[in-house]
Amino acid sequence: MADKNVVILISGRGSNMEALLEANLPARVAAVISNEPGARGLDAARRRNLPTAVVDHRAFGNRAAFDAALANEIDRHSAHLVLLAGFMRILTAAFVRAYEGRLLNIHPSLLPAFPGLDTHRRALQAGVRIHGCTVHFVTVELDHGPIIIQAAVPVLPDDTEDALAARVLNEEHRIYPQAVRWFCEGRLSLTPDGRVGIACAPAPMHALISPPAET
Calpha distance 91→11 (Å, rounded): 13
Q: How many CB atoms lie within 10 A of CB 169?
A: 16
**Helical ranges in 48-102 per DSSP H:** 63-75, 93-98
Q: Are 16 and 172 in contact (CB under 8 A)?
A: yes
Burial code (b: 16+ CB inside 10 Å, e: under 16) for 22-60 equals ebebebbbbbbbbbbeebebbebbeeeebebeebebeeb
What stretch of H or E contains 148?
A: strand 147-154
The answer to whether 107 is a known catalytic residue is yes
Phi and psi of 132, rounded to 5°? 165, -150
Three-state secondary-structure class, residue 33: strand
Return the closest-CA partner of residue 11 out of 94, 119, 101, 91: 91
**Catalytic site residue from 107, 131, 136, 173:** 107
**Residue whose C-alpha is closest to residue 172's, from 146, 153, 190, 189:** 153
Q: Which of 76, 28, 27 is nearest to 53 (CA)?
A: 76
Q: Any idea which residues carry the catalytic annotation?
A: 107
